[in-house]
């Protein structure tokens, strides 16, 4: 999958995501999906928006593929810009200030032991007591977290006790992502 995402295709996808958000502000029709065959295949992604100082401004995505990747990019671009419950909707003047990042995900796979989770290589999903949380592969290295810190923050994100990741009934899944941004 890596070779499909050469710099030219990455730039095309990033431009498409930005145009989707701009079209929403303008009330104009959605831009056409780029002619990249991978975008017509079923796929899952996250779209992340960063503010002018690099701070998180929105991040929404899907862990499981259920629609073609182009439509998933379109939906997650709009959701990250306007429907992330942690942030107010994007203002039109912010569009020129934000930077975009796209993470194209592999399918999550269960792991038997937390030792199989590799910081910087894997994204991780924790499920326990009907709650779940996810970190994309880039989160732990960006924060400077080791494995136990990552899992503690993941448990906290899921609304669980900090040590919930150590409980016998905690389930973990890992995935990889092709990550690129502006």
**What's the chain's Rg over C-alpha atoms?**
17
132 pLDDT band, cuts 50/70/90, is: very high
Position 4 scores a pLDDT of 86
What is the average pLDDT value for the chain, to the nearest integer? 96
Residues 6+ apart with CB under 8 A from 38: 1, 4, 5, 9, 69
Domains of the chain, CATH where assigned: 2-105 (3.30.700.20), 109-176 (3.30.1490.150)
pLDDT of 2 higher than 70: no
What is the average pLDDT across 95-121?
A: 96
39 pLDDT band, cuts 50/70/90, is: very high
């Amino acid at each position: 999958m890596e070779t499909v995402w050469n710099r030219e295709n990455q730039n095309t996808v990033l431009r498409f995501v930005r145009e989707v958000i701009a079209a929403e502000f303008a009330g104009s029709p959605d831009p056409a999906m780029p002619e990249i065959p991978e975008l017509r295949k079923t796929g899952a992604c996250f779209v992340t928006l960063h503010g002018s100082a690099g701070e998180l401004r929105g991040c929404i995505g899907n862990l499981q593929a259920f629609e073609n990747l182009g439509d998933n990019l379109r939906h997650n671009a709009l959701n990250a810009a306007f429907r992330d419950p942690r942030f107010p909707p994007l203002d039109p003047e912010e569009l020129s200030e934000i930077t975009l990042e796209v993470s194209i995900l592999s399918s999550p796979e269960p792991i038997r032991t937390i030792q199989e989770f590799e910081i910087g290589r894997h994204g991780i999903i924790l499920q326990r007591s009907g709650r779940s949380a996810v970190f994309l592969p880039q989160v732990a290295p960006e924060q400077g977290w080791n494995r136990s810190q990552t899992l503690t923050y993941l448990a906290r994100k899921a609304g669980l006790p900090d040590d919930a990741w150590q409980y016998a009934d905690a389930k973990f899944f890992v995935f990889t992502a092709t990550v690129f941004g502006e």
